[in-house]
Amino acid sequence: MRYGYAALNLTLAAEKVQVNRAMIKKTFLEKGIAYASSHALANVRDLEKVLEWNLKHRLRFYRMSSDMFPWMSEYEISDLPDYEQIKIVLQRAGTKARNNDIRLSFHPGPFNVLATNTPSVLTKTIKELRQHAEIMDLMGLPQSPFAKINIHVGGAFGDKNTALARFAESYTALPDSIRARLTVENDDKANMFNIRDLLWLHQQIGIPLVFDYFHHQFCSGDMTEEEAFSAAIETWPADITPVVHFSSSRKRFEDPTAAATAHADFLYSRVNTYGAEVDIMFEAKAKETAVLKYLADYRLKAL
Ligand SMILES: [Mn+2]
Q: Which of these, 287, 172, 272, lies nearest to 228 by C-alpha position?
A: 272
**Dihedral-angle region of residue 222 (phi above 0 means left; psi in -120 to 50 means alpha; beta otherwise):** left
Q: How confident is the model at residue 155, as a pLDDT?
A: 85
Mean pLDDT computed over every residue of the chain: 97
Give the pLDDT band of residue 301 (cuts 50, 70, 90).
confident
CA dihedral 243, 245, 128, 15 (to 10 degrees): -110
Give the pLDDT band of residue 177 (cuts 50, 70, 90).
very high
Q: Which long-range contacts (CB under 8 A, 24 or more apart) does 72-76 make?
A: 72/36, 72/128, 72/131, 73/124, 73/127, 73/128, 73/131, 74/28, 74/33, 75/33, 75/36
Give the Å distance between the CA of 248 and the centre of ligand 1: 11
Give the Å distance between the CA of 192 and the centre of ligand 1: 14
Give the Å distance between the CA of 185 and the centre of ligand 1: 7
Does the pLDDT of residue 218 top 90, yes or no? Answer: yes
Tell me the C-alpha to C-alpha distance, in Å, between residue 80 and each of 18, 37, 69, 187, 216. Answer: 20, 5, 10, 36, 41
Give the Å distance between the CA of 4 and the centre of ligand 1: 12
SS3 label, residue 4: strand
Give the Å distance between the CA of 283 and the centre of ligand 1: 7
Residues with CB under 5 A from ligand 1 (ion): 212, 245
Give the Å distance between the CA of 33 and the centre of ligand 1: 32
Give the Å distance between the CA of 31 and the centre of ligand 1: 35
Q: Identify the H or E element spanning 282.
A: strand 279-282
Tell me the C-alpha to C-alpha distance, in Å, between residue 47 and each of 10, 17, 71, 208. Answer: 13, 8, 18, 27
Q: How confident is the model at residue 303, as a pLDDT?
A: 77
Give the pLDDT band of residue 96 (cuts 50, 70, 90).
very high
Give the Å distance between the CA of 210 and the centre of ligand 1: 8
Q: How confident is the model at residue 157, as a pLDDT?
A: 84
Give the Å distance between the CA of 213 and the centre of ligand 1: 8
> What gap in Å lies between CA 235 and CA 211, rounded to an integer?
11
Q: How confident is the model at residue 61, as a pLDDT?
A: 98
- Write out the DSSP string of 63-129: E--TTSSTTGGGS-GGGSTTHHHHHHHHHHHHHHHHHTT-EEEB---TT--TT-S-HHHHHHHHHHH
Section 253-269 average pLDDT: 98
Section 276-282 average pLDDT: 98
Q: How confident is the model at residue 149, as a pLDDT?
A: 98
CB 287 within 8 A of CB 8: yes
Give the Å distance between the CA of 162 and the centre of ligand 1: 23
* pTM exceeds cut of 0.85: yes
Give the pLDDT band of residue 302 (cuts 50, 70, 90).
confident
Q: Which of these, 248, 239, 240, 216, lies nearest to 229 by C-alpha position?
A: 216
Q: How confident is the model at residue 248, as a pLDDT?
A: 98
CB 171 within 8 A of CB 114: yes
Q: How confident is the model at residue 156, as a pLDDT?
A: 87
Give me the count of residues in the chain: 303
Q: Tens digit of pLDDT for each residue in 30-69?
A: 999 999 999 999 999 999 999 999 999 999 999 999 999 9
Give the Å distance between the CA of 212 and the centre of ligand 1: 5
Handedness of CA 231, 232, 236, 238 (dihedral sign): negative
Give the Å distance between the CA of 91 and the centre of ligand 1: 28
Partners of 63 in beta bridges:
6, 105
